[in-house]
Structure 1
Amino acid sequence: MQAFDYDEVLDLILAKDSRYHREAYYFVREGLDYTQQKLVKAAGSKDPRHVSGRELMDGMRRYALENYGPMAKTLLNEWGICATEDFGEIVFNLVENNLLAKTEEDSREDFVNGFDFDEALIAPFQPDRPSAVDPPQPKAKRKS
């Protein structure tokens, strides 16, 4: 098997598909590692297993929130990731260039309508809105 350099393969991907920044590919790879570690820990296992598209989207959402906090959506958008479908495009660019593997059941469609970026990445940092209450009434003036 021929050794390859991850960055060299990314250069080839970016030359063919410039929709996403290099950082987007690193993010997806790190998000996959994060997700696998969480799933292994939750299962009490030692060996990583295949991660479905839905599991990966949830893991990347959690990874983004933990690492980038309120800046998560801004950074992802800056890298070209504006919707969960973009995760799928990046994953399959990596698969097509032998940097990730997939099963027969995996497809780009697994990443369609995964979650709303505003709800998932911005709402957790929004202040709670006060409940609707009657506005305060002006105090009655006293007669002097």
Structure 2
Amino acid sequence: MKEIESFLEKIERIMQGQGQYKFEAYSFIMAALHYTVTKLDKPRHVTGAELLDGVRRYALDQYGALARMVLNYWGIYETLDFGKIVFALVEVGILRKQPNDKIEDFKDVYNFEQAFDAGYKIEDKDEP
């Protein structure tokens, strides 16, 4: 229970300082990171590009055709926003980074419209 309280307090501290993103954006990044790591052969540090791919896949999995709209509602409009969230989580000690990790790793990695709108496909369960 203390870990949850500590997590919430740290997110609150980030939000008071930045105020740019809704609480759900931080929770989403943590869930997307977990999703990304579980797809690896073995647990290890993930790069910004790997995390962004996992974020895209997780968002489409969770929110489908509404993924971009949900992310926008939370204040996320571009891949750099994910980087800002990740580095804010690093600053408060929730996440760790490697020396070669940098915020620029998250800049202009993909276009939201292409990644989320065009990237969503409805599966036809009747097809073999």
TM-score higher than 0.5: yes
What residue in structure 2 maps to residue 5 of structure 1? 6
Q: Which amino acid aligns with 1:119?
A: Q
| Structure 2 unaligned regions, length at least 5 | 123-128
Higher relative contact order structure (alpha carbons within 8 Å, sequence separation ≥ 6): 2
* 1:49 lines up with 2:44 in the alignment: yes
What residue in structure 1 maps to residue 74 of structure 2? 79
Q: Which has the larger radius of gyration?
A: 1
1:124 and 1:6 map into 2 onto residues whose CA distance is 32
Report if the CA contact (8 A) 2:26-2:85 is conserved.
Answer: yes
2:14 and 2:47 map into 1 onto residues whose CA distance is 23
> Which structure has the highest helix share of the two?
2
* Structure 2 CA distance for partners of 1:121 and 1:50, relative to 1, 3 Å: same
Equivalent residue runs for 1:1-144 within 5 Å = 5-39=6-40, 43=41, 45=42, 48-125=43-120
| Structure 1 unaligned regions, length at least 5 | 128-144
TM-score (norm 2): 0.89
- Aligned-residue identity in percent: 44
Instruction: Output one character per residue of 1:17-69: Cα deviation in whole Å (capped at 9) or x when no partner.
Output: 00100000001010000000011xxx2x3xx1000000000000000000100
TM-score (norm 1): 0.79
* Structure 2 CA distance for partners of 1:125 and 1:34, relative to 1, 3 Å: closer
Computed over aligned residues only, the root mean square deviation of the Cα atoms, in angstroms, reads 1.7
SS of 2:39's equivalent in the other structure is helix
Q: Which amino acid aligns with 1:92?
A: F
Q: Which amino acid aligns with 1:7?
A: L
